[in-house]
């Protein structure tokens, strides 16, 4: 593993960073587990891409089967992207009527911003203060968590970790719109991750996005629900994070878990928006919606449905939460719990404490991450088929680590 790391450092850009003080050389994945080159296994409770579990045999089989038969772009008439769009729309409110398939969440968000700016005639975009929305030049400027300066027309909301009431976020959007107006910027969009993952999983009270959507519409701008992290059932409150808030966004962007590891992403909009965009310009994306990626995404949807994964996210997520609550009662290193379903945010006093916990858990075979202001919140996100016994293992390891943290 050290040799591989040296080879990696020699050829891969130094901008790439590895997780953990002692990075893991993974060679195989299976269900909720990752296996390293030394034969150790780790419960992967960080990575939210393999939503159905690593290397799910059915998804692998359907992807390979399609790769053997045909792989081409969307300029030929093929059934898979059509079927995928139909299936995605069937999970959404009926106003949502049009899909553009892309390769990454960044491409989907980038396009949503482009369309919102085009149709509103505004440029101003509101994001939260620890948001991450993507890797393009445009989206880096809308991702304050990267530490890079935000774009000229980008305004941030310092999102409270605990909302006082359902109205609070809407009030903050209103204030932000006032700031924008004071600077002579016309608003185009509010862009939010509907579980506020990189802000530390801000989930409650469910419904708090509704007043925000009303404010942004009243200002003539559009609402973009970034579902790259919460989408595909993770929050247990339906297929989408926005489902918990009872809203119909103007745009829904999705990626990461969509192909269970295969690169496939999408932008879903209302049909009226798609029609208005068409009159402005055409869109083509060489790999977006290719036959194999579409097959991978269809198979992932099949598994989510057939294995009842949204329900498991809700039920096993509630079980995980109860276990975390018990630990929080006994340990000062947990100061608050947030999150929904199998997306749990565990607040610790500082980034140093969180980093120690993350690294100690890795050494004991459980992979989690840290996010939020100062990276002080633990991000716990096992694949959706996770069983109670596996959650017990996670909680047991966390309890051991919290005990040694208390004894420091």
Among 63, 66, 109, 243, binds ligand PMP (CB under 6 A): 109
Residue 110 or 390: the one with the smaller Cβ distance to ligand PMP is: 110
What's the closest the beta carbon of residue 133 comes to ligand PMP, in angstroms? 5
Residues 345-374 that bind ligand PMP (CB under 6 A): none
Stretch that binds ligand PMP, among 32-40, 104-112, 201-209, 325-333 (CB under 6 A): 104-112
What's the closest the beta carbon of residue 145 comes to ligand PMP, in angstroms? 10
Bridge partners for 339 per DSSP? 344
Residues 123-152 that bind ligand PMP (CB under 6 A): 132-135
Residue 132 or 242: the one with the smaller Cβ distance to ligand PMP is: 132
Residue 252, judged by CB atoms within 10 A of its CB (0-12, 13-18, 19+), counts as buried
Stretch that binds ligand PMP, among 29-37, 223-231, 331-339, 353-361 (CB under 6 A): 223-231
Q: In the 3-class helix/strand/coil scheme, how is 376-391 assigned residue by residue?
A: CEEEECCCCCCCHHHH
Residue listed under structure tokens 């402005």? 280
What DSSP state is assigned to residue 34? E
End-to-end CA distance of the chain: 30
Using CA atoms, how far apart are residues 70 and 84, in angstroms rounded to an integer? 16
Quote the tokens at residue 138.
Answer: 């445009």
What DSSP state is assigned to residue 332? T
Residue 113 or 313: the one with the smaller Cβ distance to ligand PMP is: 113
Distance of alpha carbon 338 from the chain centroid: 16
User: Does residue 136 contact residue 218 with C-beta atoms inside 8 Å?
Assistant: no
Q: How many other CB atoms sit within 10 Å of the CB of residue 128?
A: 23
Among 74, 106, 140, 348, binds ligand PMP (CB under 6 A): 106
- Tell me the pairing of strands 251-254 and 343-347: unpaired
Residue 134 or 323: the one with the smaller Cβ distance to ligand PMP is: 134
- The dihedrals phi and psi of 254, each to the nearest 5 degrees, come to -150, 160
- With CB atoms as reference, the residue minimizing the distance to ligand PMP is 105
Using CA atoms, how far apart are residues 194 and 83, in angstroms rounded to an integer? 26
Contact map string, positions 263 to 292, toward ligand PMP, x by CB under 6 A: --x---------------------------
Under the binding rule (CB under 6 A), the answer on residue 255 touching ligand PMP is: yes
Residue 91 or 106: the one with the smaller Cβ distance to ligand PMP is: 106
Residue 229 or 333: the one with the smaller Cβ distance to ligand PMP is: 229
What's the closest the beta carbon of residue 129 comes to ligand PMP, in angstroms? 14
Under the binding rule (CB under 6 A), the answer on residue 296 touching ligand PMP is: no
Q: How many other CB atoms sit within 10 Å of the CB of residue 61?
A: 11
Distance of alpha carbon 374 from the chain centroid: 19
Residue 134 or 200: the one with the smaller Cβ distance to ligand PMP is: 134
Under the binding rule (CB under 6 A), the answer on residue 203 touching ligand PMP is: no
What's the closest the beta carbon of residue 35 comes to ligand PMP, in angstroms? 24
> How many residues make contact with ligand PMP (CB under 6 A)?
16
Using CA atoms, how far apart are residues 348 and 404, in angstroms rounded to an integer? 15
Among 105, 122, 257, 317, binds ligand PMP (CB under 6 A): 105
Q: In a 3-state reduction of DSSP, which class is residue 130?
A: coil
What's the closest the beta carbon of residue 1 comes to ligand PMP, in angstroms? 25
Quote the tokens at residue 222.
Answer: 């559009």
Site residues for ligand PMP per CB under 6 A: 104-106, 109, 132-135, 193, 197, 226, 228-229, 255-256, 265
């Amino acid at each position: 593993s050290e040799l591989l790391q040296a080879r990696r450092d020699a050829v891969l850009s130094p901008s790439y960073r590895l997780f953990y003080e002692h990075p893991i050389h993974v060679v195989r994945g299976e269900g909720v587990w990752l296996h390293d080159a030394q034969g150790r296994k780790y419960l992967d409770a960080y990575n939210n891409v393999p939503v159905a579990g690593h290397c799910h045999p059915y998804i692998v089989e359907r992807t390979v089967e399609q790769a053997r038969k045909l792989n081409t772009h969307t300029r030929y008439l093929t059934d898979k992207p059509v079927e995928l769009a139909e299936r995605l729309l069937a999970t959404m409110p009926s106003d949502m009527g049009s899909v553009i398939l892309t390769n990454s969440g960044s491409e989907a968000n980038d396009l949503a911003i482009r369309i919102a700016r085009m149709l509103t005639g505004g440029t101003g975009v509101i994001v939260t203060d620890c948001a991450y929305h993507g890797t393009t030049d445009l989206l880096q400027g809308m991702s304050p968590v990267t530490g890079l300066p935000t774009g000229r027309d980008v305004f941030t909301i310092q999102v409270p970790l605990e909302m006082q009431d359902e109205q609070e976020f809407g009030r903050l959007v209103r204030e932000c719109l006032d700031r924008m107006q004071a600077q002579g910027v016309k608003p185009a969009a509010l862009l939010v991750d509907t579980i506020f993952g990189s802000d530390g999983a801000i989930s409650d009270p469910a419904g708090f996005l509704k007043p925000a959507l009303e404010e942004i519409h009243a200002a003539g701008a559009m609402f973009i629900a970034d579902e790259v992290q919460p989408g595909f059932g993770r929050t247990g409150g339906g297929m989408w994070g926005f489902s918990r808030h009872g809203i119909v966004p103007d745009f829904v962007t999705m990626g990461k878990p969509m192909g269970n590891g295969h690169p496939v992403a999408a932008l879903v909009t209302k049909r009226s928006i798609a029609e208005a965009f068409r009159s402005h310009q055409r869109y083509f994306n060489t790999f977006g919606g290719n036959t194999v990626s579409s097959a991978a995404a269809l198979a992932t949807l099949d598994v989510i449905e057939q294995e009842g994964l949204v329900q498991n996210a809700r039920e096993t997520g509630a079980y995980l939460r109860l276990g975390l609550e018990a630990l929080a009662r006994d340990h000062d290193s947990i100061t608050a719990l947030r999150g929904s379903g199998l997306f749990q945010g565990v607040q610790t006093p500082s980034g140093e404490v969180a980093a120690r916990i993350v690294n100690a858990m890795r050494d004991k075979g459980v992979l989690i991450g840290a996010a939020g202001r100062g990276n002080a919140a633990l991000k716990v996100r096992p694949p959706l088929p996770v069983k109670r016994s596996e959650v017990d293992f996670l909680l047991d390891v966390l309890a051991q680590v919290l005990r040694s943290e208390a004894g420091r």
